[in-house]
Amino acid sequence: MLIVRNGTLVTPRSMYAADVAIDAGRFVEIAAPGQLSVRRADDEVDARGTYVLPGVIDSHVHFREPGLEYKEDWESGSRAAVMGGVTTVLEMPNTLPPTANAQLVQHKRALAEAKAYCDFGLYGLVAQDNLEQIGPMAEAGIVGYKCFLGETTGNIQPPDDGTLLEAMRVIASTGLRVGFHAEDDAILQHSIRQLKAGGRTDARAHVDGRPEIAEVEAIQRVALFAMGTRTPIHIFHVSSRQGLATIDAWRARGIDITCETGPQYCFLSADDMQRLGSLLRINPPVREPGHAEPLLRGLVDGRIDAIATDHSPHTREEKVKDDIWQAVSGFPGVETSVRLFVSEAVNTGRMSLQQYVRAASEGPARAWRLYPRKGAIEVGADADLTIIDLQRTGTIEAARMHGKNNYGPWEGRRTTGAAVATIVRGQVVMREGELVGRPQGRMVVRQGAVGI
């Protein structure tokens, strides 16, 4: 039994002082301060002066294991997650080998359950050559599917339109959602070829090589396929104003479409590429100024369902290059997302704490159908909590972070507000910046799947 006392509970619909009792990994009672009927507890957390949020879910991380453990592994990635206030991650399939069949889902699950500090869900890959595995991966307990429409880490070839359409028909029968890396490959390849031919090697060429139209075109195409197949879809890392407007338009036509964006798209722009160079290379790229504010507004009003970091660690040697084309894309994010959003959005008055909870916890839980087991503070739900101190100041420094490769575009940024405790199914895993729990992470398996 664990009791969290004297905190202010925050949900998207309410904010109130309460004590919470947790037993066997679930919330068992929520009451006004001092009013719990449960008296005896093995451990207590005094949350006075802080805000108690349903556990933050990062629905887009790359933890690199199996196959790329020199970049990250389940132990290091999940440690970074809980140190930053994240209680559940949804992990991407472009490992080596990719998570492209039921056996590899089970394999990755076993790797992760042996050493993850946070809970996790796994995405199954949809590629050119694994249609027959779509059903079996659902039975193995994946949370949804990931399809890359453009080239990516691991060099996974995007499926052709015919194959994708057929895959989406099969996915519709599983009841799961399929998410897309929405950049049209042909447009990217063409413009990157032209820039290289013109001799461009500067950091900004990466932005020019992946124009917004590539994102808009890809969203249009998969939304059209979703309409034809009645398949729920998701757009990963929406990066542009036009991308979001396209999603709005399809949603208005009745398509079941959810989406996410991340701190880099809300708080950085192509102007920062001058300063940060290849360190800021990511796909899709950060955009010219003028996109960040509409995306943040999308998170505030709920048109964007989730904050997701696309945590993509690489070594410093792989990242830092003079020639932008030689640098790999992606950087870490799972440990810094909570403090960045609290600092840059909540504490600047651009987003309320309740709106943050919707975007960081309830939204992703609903999109991937984990709600209310995840993403809620209510009796019977998994007892995942992220406790926030809005006043806690600090500076983002790779040397003080907990993944394998922490160097990124946020280095040196001062923040106000951070997670001061992370609780995963009733276990206090992080307290006051110290790792105090053991790796007891479990896979979140959708109800109805085999193996729960």
Task: List residues binding Zn ion (CB under 5 A).
Answer: 310
Which structure tokens are listed for 331?
């950087």
Instruction: Rank residues 19 and 310 by Cβ distance to Zn ion and give the closer one.
Output: 310
CB closer to Zn ion, 8 vs 309: 309
Minimal distance, residue 85 CB to Zn ion, in Å: 20
DSSP helix/strand/coil, 430: strand
Nearer to Zn ion, 50 or 59 (CB): 59
CB atoms closer than 10 angstroms to residue 317: 10
Q: Which is nearer to Zn ion, 73 or 310 (CB)?
A: 310
Minimum distance of Zn ion from residue 66's CB (angstroms): 17
CB of 312 to Zn ion, least distance (A): 6
Could you tell me the smallest distance in angstroms from the CB atom of residue 148 to Zn ion?
9
Task: Give the phi and the psi of residue 122 in degrees, each rounded to 5.
Answer: -120, 140
Residue 92 C-beta: closest distance to Zn ion, Å: 5
Alpha helices per DSSP H over 175-309: 185-197, 204-208, 212-229, 241-252, 263-267, 271-276, 292-301
Kindly tell me which of 59 and 269 has the beta carbon lying closer to Zn ion: 59
Q: Give CA–CA dist 121/57, Å, rounded.
A: 10
Q: Please say which residue, 68 or 429, places its beta carbon nearer to Zn ion.
A: 68
What is the closest distance, in whole angstroms, from the C-beta atom of residue 152 to Zn ion in the complex?
Answer: 7
Query: Is the Cβ of residue 8 or residue 278 nearer to Zn ion in the bound state?
Result: 278
Lookup: tokens for 126: 């949809």
In the complex, residue closest to Zn ion by CB: 310
**What whole-number distance in Å separates Cα of residue 86 and Cα of residue 2?**
19
Burial (Cβ within 10 Å: 0-12, 13-18, ≥19) of residue 161: exposed
Q: Which helix (H) or strand (E) holds 125?
A: strand 119-125
Q: Which is nearer to Zn ion, 6 or 239 (CB)?
A: 239
Q: Measure the CA–CA gap between 259 and 298, rounded to whole angstroms.
A: 10
Task: Measure CA of the first residue to CA of the last residue in the chain; give whole Å.
Answer: 24
| Minimum distance of Zn ion from residue 14's CB (angstroms) | 33
The two three-digit tokens of residue 139, written as one number: 């039975």
Minimum distance from residue 313 beta carbon to Zn ion (Å): 11
Burial of 160 (0-12, 13-18, 19+ CB in 10 A): exposed
Q: Which residues 6+ apart lie within 8 Å of 148 measured at CB?
A: 94, 127, 156, 158, 180, 181
Of 184 and 310, the one with the shorter C-beta distance to Zn ion is: 310
Q: Which among 124, 133, 190, 186 is positioned nearest to 161, based on CA atoms? A: 186
- Nearest distance from C-beta of residue 93 to Zn ion, angstroms: 10
Q: Which residues share a beta bridge with 431?
A: 421, 434
Give the three-state DSSP class for 148. strand
